[in-house]
Amino acid sequence: MAETVADQRYWDDRYRESEHVWSGRPNAALVREAADLPPGRALDLGAGEGGDAIWLAGRGWQVTAADISTVALERAAAHARTEGVADRIDFQRHTLGETFPAGTFDLVSACYLHSEGNLPREQILRTAAAAVAPGGTLLVVGHAGFPHWQGDHHPQVVLPTAREVLAALELPDDAWEVQRCEEHDTPMNRPDGVPDTRPDCTVKARRLDA
Ligand SMILES: C[S@@+](CC[C@H](N)C(=O)[O-])C[C@H]1O[C@@H](n2cnc3c(N)ncnc32)[C@H](O)[C@@H]1O
């Protein structure tokens, strides 16, 4: 419980530090992987300021957006109202690892679910897989390494490869079709504004119909 409070405070403080921490736009990997999926029920884990949830809602998805930070969730909800999609997003505060949104979903997405705090990511991602409905999709996008220009690495933050993510998911072969498991470079600016890339990875799997 003490760790939970500390983690929520850490993220609330981080979000309060600036008006916007993230771009407000959906992650490129989500757009790439989900643009062709028929809309249904989606779960966005670690939704942050809501860029992904709002994009999904705008495409007709009914979204549950979960995050530890009430500051982020309130900001995301305000953005969703501005975009006219607030009625299609259910914002829920969860300390994933302790509680998890109820139900099953046609898309469960975890984009950059990383934390310098206490985040049992592998356990959360296995719970995420269990929440995918038959025929639904699990999407895990994450950093696969620190940017080469960033010397200040956080040893407590584990950044696994796509294969390591897939192995940790423990998806039974006869129940899932793995559609993507790969590293890729994501464009991002260095602190001095120079365009560069950092290594990311994507795992996408479809739960076979029952
Ligand atoms: C790196 S940010 C990514 C945000 C968003 N998915 C994006 O791509 O812009 C990680 C997010 O995970 C959330 N988070 C960290 N630990 C969490 C936990 N235990 N339960 C729920 N959310 C958590 C943070 O508040 C933060 O919004």
Asked if the model's pLDDT at residue 22 lies above 90, the reply is: no
Higher pLDDT, 152 or 111: 111
Ligand 1: residue of 115, 119, 141, 188 to mutate (most ligand atoms within 8 A of CB) is 115
Q: How would DSSP label each residue in 42-59?
A: EEEET-TTSHHHHHHHHT
pTM for the full predicted model: 0.95
How far from 210 is each of 38, 74, 135, CA to CA, in Å? Answer: 18, 37, 8
Residue in 29, 52, 28 with CA at minimum distance from that of residue 42:
52
- Per the prediction, the chain carries an average pLDDT of 94
Q: Return the structure tokens found at 100.
A: 């998890």
Taking domain 2-207, whether its CATH number is 3.40.50.150 is answered by yes
12 or 116, greater pLDDT: 12
The rounded Å distance from CA 37 to ligand 1 centre is 24
Tens of pLDDT, residue by residue over 103-142, are: 999 999 999 999 988 899 999 999 999 999 999 999 999 9
12 C-alpha to center of ligand 1: Å? 11
